[in-house]
Amino acid sequence: MRVSGQGAEEVVRRIGGGEARDAAQRIATLTRRTPLLTSRGLSEACGGQVVLKAENLQRTGSFKLRGAGNRIARLTEPVGVVAGSAGNHGQSLAYAARARGIPCEVFMPREAPVAKVAAVQAFGGIVDLSADSVDDAVARAIERAQETGAAFVHPFDDPDVILGQATLGLELLDDVPDLDTVVVPVGGGGLISGIAGTIKEMRPRTRVIGVQASACAAFPESLAHGEPEAITPRGATIADGIAVKRPGEITLQLVERWVDEIVVVDEDETADAMVWLLERSKLVVEGGGAVGVAALLVGAISPSARGATCVVLSGGNVDAGLLAQVAQRHEAAAGRRLRLFTRISDRPGALAALLTAIAQSGGNVVHAAHVREAAALHVRETAVEITLETRGPEHGAQIVAELIAAGYEVQRLDAAWPAG
């Protein structure tokens, strides 16, 4: 597909003319230069030099502030801004609008994460939660802009927004002298378009690879057909920040021109990457921001044999509850968290005896509950459901074996826990 259309041609021309540097100056006081972190663990696991661009540590917790800040800085007589967003774009636009002293309204899906809704409001944005999806939120925002005269700021399909995201590419070029591959999360395509355009202009041989979540991977099909096509999402996704059903008219053309490859990862792989970053790098990264690490960990992308592979961690705005669920799921899958069901005598001291037996086996009980209903019990019995931490699958199997040897009938409730 040939790059055509006024918007795509404008981005190509402006990046070629060095305007990403101008954008960097415009947003210098609004954004921060995020750190580049080495990752020995990821390098060893994947077999190459891997570094992490921690854009999850950007103000507002996402790269989106770059594009939103540049777009607002380019407004001549702003009466206000309006946008549709899953959360990160809305937060960034509200933050930038507050700095400019103009009102901001953000349309968000009904199922938008609570933390992201609260953040938009904390930055002074007015939130409307009437949309069914990100695409519906964008459509509603366009209508509101037409009604009020406010400037509509698209989350990705806008030349000024893309030029703002291109400033991240400049930082990579400045900070990674041997940059050979860049791995970028992809939703609507604004971030990867800006990064890829900047990098290909300066180092055309550097690989730029995009990663999408399998539940909402719109780019492969659209690239195959040569035009943006809406897909039906395959269920909910923890990568909500990149859950965009249809690529942009501009970004699809730029991705086709500049991006070398698009790969897809699934929900479990994304969740594992979130936990890996939390445990190994001490970084809180949302699902959409962790897909690049997921792609490396499962081998969907191989790091460069020569030079550095940089993974962009595009955002860190995740609800604490979801993060806890992901971590607990990982613990169960790794055999370090075990749920058991057993029966004990309904007499004083019986529960204490069970807990003592577990403690003597080295297990750490984190939750215990009597279950008197929905179980076939003798009148003098009670059931107990217990969640405990172990040192791993072998230790868990040892605890179960010792409980059985002590006379307890034990049933494992955690399907993710490996049989032993």
Out of 130, 152, 174, a domain closes at: 152
The C-alpha atoms of residue 117 and residue 133 are separated, in whole angstroms, by 14
270 in the same domain as 193: yes
- How deeply is 409 buried, as exposed, middle or buried, from its count of CB atoms within 10 A (0-12, 13-18, 19+)? exposed
Residue 419 lies in a domain: no
307 in the same domain as 169: yes
Residue 184, sorted as left (phi over 0), alpha (psi -120 to 50) or beta, turns out to be: beta
Out of 152, 173, 200, a domain closes at: 152
Residue 312 lies in a domain: yes
Residue 49 lies in a domain: yes
Phi, psi at 31, each rounded to 5°: -105, 175
What is the DSSP code (8-state) at residue 356?
H
**Comparing C-alpha atoms, which of 403, 416, 393 is closest to residue 341?**
403
What is the DSSP code (8-state) at residue 363?
-
Provide the b/e sequence for 150-176 (b: ≥16 CB within 10 Å): bbbbbbbbbbbbbbbbbbbbbbbbebb
Residue 418 lies in a domain: no
Question: Distance of CA 7 to CAs 11, 82, 216, Å?
Answer: 6, 20, 25
Residue 94 lies in a domain: yes
Count of CA atoms in the C-beta half-sphere (13 A) of 134: 28
Contact indicator for 339, 413 with CB cutoff of 8 Å: yes
225: β partners? none
Residue 55 lies in a domain: yes
Which CATH number characterizes residue 56's domain? 3.40.50.1100
| DSSP-assigned states of every residue in 224-248 | HHTS-------S--S-GGG--SS--
215: β partners? none
The C-alpha atoms of residue 418 and residue 167 are separated, in whole angstroms, by 46
354 in the same domain as 301: no
56 in the same domain as 82: no
The C-alpha atoms of residue 312 and residue 291 are separated, in whole angstroms, by 9
Task: Look up the domain containing 298 and give its range.
Answer: 6-62+159-327
The C-alpha atoms of residue 279 and residue 298 are separated, in whole angstroms, by 17
pLDDT of residue 4: 42
165 in the same domain as 147: no
Q: What single letter denotes the amino acid at residue 272?
A: D
283 in the same domain as 204: yes
312 in the same domain as 163: yes
Phi, psi at 308, each rounded to 5°: -95, 145
pLDDT of residue 97: 97
Out of 298, 327, 356, a domain closes at: 327
Phi, psi at 404, each rounded to 5°: -65, -40
Angle, vertex CA 82, rays to CA 78 and CA 84, nearest 5:
155
The C-alpha atoms of residue 252 and residue 196 are separated, in whole angstroms, by 12
Phi, psi at 268, each rounded to 5°: -65, -40
pLDDT of residue 2: 38
Question: Distance of CA 47 to CAs 126, 304, 309, Å?
Answer: 47, 9, 11
44 in the same domain as 136: no
- Strand order of the sheet with strand 36-38? 36-38, 49-54, 308-313, 179-185, 207-213, 261-265
Q: Say which residues have a Cβ less than 8 Å from residue 14's Cβ, sequence separation at least 6.
A: 20, 159, 163
183 in the same domain as 88: no
Joined tokens for residue 365? 């009980």
Which CATH number characterizes residue 396's domain? 3.30.70.260
Per-residue pLDDT tens, the chain, 420 aa: give them: 334 457 999 999 999 999 999 999 999 999 999 999 999 999 999 999 999 999 999 999 999 999 999 999 999 888 899 999 988 999 999 999 999 999 999 999 888 888 889 999 999 999 999 998 877 898 999 999 999 999 999 999 999 999 999 999 999 999 999 999 999 999 999 999 999 999 999 999 999 999 999 999 999 999 999 999 999 888 889 998 898 889 999 999 999 999 999 999 999 999 999 999 998 999 999 999 999 999 999 999 999 999 999 999 999 998 888 888 888 787 777 777 888 988 888 888 889 999 999 999 998 988 888 777 656 777 678 888 898 888 888 888 899 999 999 999 888 886 543 333
- How deeply is 272 buried, as exposed, middle or buried, from its count of CB atoms within 10 A (0-12, 13-18, 19+)? buried
Residue 120 lies in a domain: yes
Count of CA atoms in the C-beta half-sphere (13 A) of 350: 15
The C-alpha atoms of residue 78 and residue 93 are separated, in whole angstroms, by 13
276 in the same domain as 292: yes
The C-alpha atoms of residue 19 and residue 74 are separated, in whole angstroms, by 12
Residue 19 lies in a domain: yes
How many domains does the chain fold into? 3
Phi, psi at 240, each rounded to 5°: -65, -25
pLDDT of residue 418: 38
pTM of the model: 0.84
> By three-state DSSP, how is residue 277 classified?
helix
288 in the same domain as 205: yes
pLDDT of residue 375: 63
304 in the same domain as 196: yes
The C-alpha atoms of residue 105 and residue 143 are separated, in whole angstroms, by 12
Q: Which residues are catalytic?
A: 64, 314
